[in-house]
Amino acid sequence: MFDWITFAAGVSEVVPYLAERRRAKDNHVEETITALREAYYVTITYEEELLAGNSRSRRQELALALAWENFATKIRRYDEPLFNRLRLKGRFWREGAAWDAETRRSAKIGIERIRQDAELQLLAKQPTPKK
């Protein structure tokens, strides 16, 4: 005979566990989006400063490398090929942005392309607002 009490007790233990897993997943998606925005905006700011005639900053380039590698680590669970491209972007900055145009193009690490590809992955994973 089926024991409904034992079954109900088991379900009552699983439901909070599943809810916590969902919260953790949603939090990770939000943290990953934040890491994308941080890497994107500090990169845009630095590139605009260079275009305005400011000197290159090794410290800032290493900070950019760290930002992109941090983002790469967070997005790895969603998209391994994008993770690898982001690691290349971090390497590009770590190596002093010394790659030629063809190397950058073949690595597919242009900032707008990276942002668009990442947003496509992440927007689909964002939690839907509760009504």
Say what the pTM is: 0.77
Which pLDDT belongs to residue 74?
Answer: 96
Domain boundaries, the chain: 31-123
Residue 130 has pLDDT above 80, yes or no: no
Highest mean pLDDT among 1-5, 61-65, 110-114: 61-65
DSSP conformation letters of the chain: ---HHHHHHHHHHHHHHHHHHHHHHHHHHHHHHHHHHHHHHHHHHHHHHHHTTPPP-HHHHHHHHHHHHHHHHHHTTT-HHHHHHHHHHHHHHHTTS---HHHHHHHT--HHHHHHHHHHHHHTTSPPPP-
Q: Quickly state the pLDDT bin for 24 (edges 50, 70, 90).
A: low
**Per-residue pLDDT reduced to its tens digit, 49-105:** 999 999 999 999 999 999 999 999 999 999 999 999 999 999 999 998 888 888 888
Give per-residue burial for 57-86: e unless 16+ CB within 10 Å, then b. eeebbebbbebbbbbbebbeebbeebbebb
Question: What sign does the dihedral 61-91-28-39 (CA atoms) show?
Answer: positive
